[in-house]
Amino acid sequence: MQRIAPITVAIVTCAACAKPTDPLDGDVIAIQTPSFTIQPGEEKFYCYFTSLPATSDTGVYRFTSSMTPGSHHMIVFKTKTAQAADGTFGECDGFGQGSGLSDIPVWLYASQNPESELVMPDGVGVALAASQPVMVNMHYVNTTDAPITANVNLELDTFAPGATYTEAHAYITYNTKIDIPAGAVGMVSGSCDVDPASQFIMMSTHSHKYTTSAKVMDGATQVLETLDWQHATVQKWEAPYFSFASGKLDYSCQYRNTTNMPLTTGESALANEMCMAVGLQFPATGDTFCLNSQTITL
């Protein structure tokens, strides 16, 4: 990876924002990643590391993002400590390996669409620490016959310092047991504990090109299903929001392996698969991971 001058992260004062004035409004933090070129047929993962310029703990009540064509997804992770120096940019090379659960990168925001927005309910924000270290993970696949130049732009609208808000945190599933033989169909699933009192703002799935279905269930009730891996279903709720009445979040993914190699869990959209359900819930005091069927709150 290379280190560039960290000039692509800035605070935009609310006087410059195209939004109504609100006494709870704080700063708008704008992140623009460096541009990079993807050659025809290439698949690349680029990572950009920085620290957000907030001088005190705060909460984000709106995320807005834009991506240039060719993106499979963009994910913003937060960590307790910096995984690389501010301004570090390059191919990801297994960021965060060896950090363990004490400082695992935590999903903060993601999008698979060129233009996207996520707005929290009134008085709810995704908690960030002062000088929060973040990493922007960008996955691009160039299926055209010409080079593409890509970058990602992100804005985080924050509460004013000292404002009172209810914390929202991520709920994420991950399955390590994907193993589909060449030319075969198969599936993986998991069953995760979830507090029936938690209210979910949104939920989606994340998987790759061999997925024929990715589902999230609440007991016998289907919460959502993705049938097009490139355009994952994003379920958003308004008041009274959604709660898993069964106390269980059951997720599953079905695959058709059209390759001559086994499909296993991994990052490549061309050679591996994933099975993830990703949501935001409140009230919460920490982020929740469900690895296969084991639930851990950090």
Task: Output the six-digit token pair for 246.
Answer: 């069964």
pTM: 0.82
- Report CA torsion sign: 111, 236, 108, 275: negative
Burial classification of residue 195, based on how many CB atoms lie within 10 Å of its CB (0-12 exposed, 13-18 middle, 19 or more buried): middle
Q: Which domains does the chain have, with CATH numbers?
A: 2-164 (2.60.120.310), 169-297 (2.60.120.230)
Rounded Cα distance, 40 and 252, in Å:
33
Alpha helices in the chain (DSSP H): none
Per-residue pLDDT tens digits of the chain, which is 298 residues long: 655 544 457 666 444 444 444 546 788 999 999 999 999 999 888 999 999 998 889 999 999 999 987 777 888 989 889 989 999 999 886 554 445 556 678 889 988 788 999 999 999 999 999 999 999 989 888 889 999 999 999 999 999 988 999 999 999 999 999 999 999 999 999 999 999 999 999 999 989 899 999 999 999 999 999 999 878 898 999 999 999 999 999 999 999 999 999 999 987 777 899 999 999 999 998 899 999 999 988 8
The dihedral formed by the CA atoms of 65, 67, 73 and 75, expressed in degrees to the nearest 10: -40
The one-letter amino acid at 263: L
Rounded Cα distance, 210 and 269, in Å:
9
Q: Are 273 and 210 in contact (CB under 8 A)?
A: yes
Distance of CA 120 to the CA centre of its chain: 15
SS3 call for 295? strand
